[in-house]
Amino acid sequence: MYLFLDRDGVINDEIKDGYVLHPGMFRFSEGVLEAMPVLAQRFERIFVVTNQRCIGRGLLTVEGLQEIHAQMLDTIRQAGGRIDKIYFCPDVESNSPCRKPNAGMAHRAKNDFPDIDFSKALMAGNTLSDMQFGRNAGMQTVFIATTLPDTPFPHPLIDKKYPDLLRFAQDIQ
């Protein structure tokens, strides 16, 4: 099994109407560091797929994003978890092939890891755009209701819904 995770609002606290622009602004969401070791045991590969429009808007450099991600990965490793690779889309335009809900980042992962079988993959995210991304790539979807708890369920784009990443991890053990 393969897991694709959105970042903002799933792994870290989302900054409403803003962006994480330096490591000091990155805050793990409650329960995430407990969830990651469980997910690492359950999934063969774990990927992060994240739209980072702030780069295209000139608010953050790729190097700055890599610094944020290096800190995130180090903390996850120290907690006993792992992320195999992070994919990000810096594009501003919503119709960019790499920008979710388009499946470009999933295809990049498949190119890097040819063993990925999207029919055995889950996309966990906190927006309907994340769910559409999962569907567009042929994955099952898991809605993490941290930022949009009132999203209706059942919903045609959502296979399962959890209040946070830890509850999801506990359910799939």
Q: Which of 8, 91, 130, 164 is catalytic?
A: 8
Query: What CA–CA distance (Å, rounded) separates 145 from 43?
Result: 21
Query: What CA–CA distance (Å, rounded) separates 55 from 159?
Result: 32
What's the one-letter identity of residue 106? A
Q: Is 8 part of the annotated catalytic residue set?
A: yes
Q: Which of 6, 91, 130, 164 is catalytic?
A: 6
Question: 54 among the known binding-site residues?
Answer: no
Question: 171 among the known binding-site residues?
Answer: no
Question: 6 among the known binding-site residues?
Answer: yes
Q: Is 6 part of the annotated catalytic residue set?
A: yes
Residues tagged active-site: 6, 8
Q: Which residues are annotated as a binding site?
A: 6, 8, 89, 98
Q: Which residues are annotated as a binding site for Mg(2+)?
A: 6, 8
